[in-house]
């Protein structure tokens, strides 16, 4: 639900108009809740066109950027993204996830996500590896600084405790990070199989 403001006559006010009335400053702006430093800097910066004519990239950098754009567009248009993540219920001992996407569509989404997420030798066009190329190309432009700030926030989020786990675990009891949770999901650790027994997934 978005914030709604109005004046004494019942006329709707924009967030910036509300900030100006509250502060008495004609140039005051209201920032959205949870705005990060890079968001604020970008909002207040002068939005000049990106000097595309000055961008210089090697053929290999262009190829990697092409891979990244291809994967990103494919992920955004995937059935799983279009249908949404579904619902999670836990009425019994085994939680249940319900989604309109098929198993094959979910597997396809995970495959694309992995290419954008992982940073190994076989994932040259992942988000983290593309960032230096983008920064080099765009330079000191406000949009570049905002993207770099988003990348830093992304890395910080990977190193924190998963948000949903905090709802079920006591503070300080969860010892794994969001990155660890994603890594285990993408690459399950398999225990050595005993003779005559099936391989177990830890």
Q: With a cut of 50, say whether residue 26 has pLDDT above it.
A: yes
Instruction: Specify the DSSP element, H or E, that contains 153.
Output: helix 142-158
Q: What is the structure's pLDDT at 168?
A: 57
Q: Please, are residues 148 and 130 in contact by the beta-carbon 8 Å criterion?
A: no
Cα–Cα dist 74/109, whole Å: 9
What pLDDT, in 10s, does the model give residues 149-178? Answer: 999 999 998 988 877 665 555 666 777 888
Cα–Cα dist 180/122, whole Å: 19
Strand ranges inside 18-106, DSSP E: 87-89, 96-98
């Amino acid at each position: 639900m978005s914030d709604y403001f109005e004046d004494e006559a019942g006329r709707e006010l924009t967030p910036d108009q509300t900030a100006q009335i509250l502060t008495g400053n004609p140039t005051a702006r209201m920032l959205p809740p949870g705005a990060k430093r890079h968001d604020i800097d970008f909002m207040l910066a002068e939005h000049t066109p990106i000097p595309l004519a000055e961008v210089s990239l090697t053929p290999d950098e262009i190829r990697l950027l092409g891979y990244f754009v291809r994967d990103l567009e494919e992920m955004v248009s995937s059935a799983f993204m279009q249908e949404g993540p579904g619902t999670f219920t836990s009425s019994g001992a085994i939680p249940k996830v319900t989604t309109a996407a098929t198993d094959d569509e979910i597997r396809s989404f995970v495959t694309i996500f992995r290419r954008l997420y992982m940073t190994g030798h076989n994932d040259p066009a992942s988000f983290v590896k593309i960032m230096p190329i983008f920064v080099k190309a765009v330079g000191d432009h406000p949009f570049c600084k905002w993207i770099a700030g988003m990348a830093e926030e992304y890395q910080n989020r990977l190193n924190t405790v998963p948000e949903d786990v905090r709802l079920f675990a006591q503070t300080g009891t969860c010892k794994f990070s969001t990155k660890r949770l994603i890594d285990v999901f993408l690459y399950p650790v398999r225990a050595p199989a005993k003779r005559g027994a099936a391989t177990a997934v830890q």
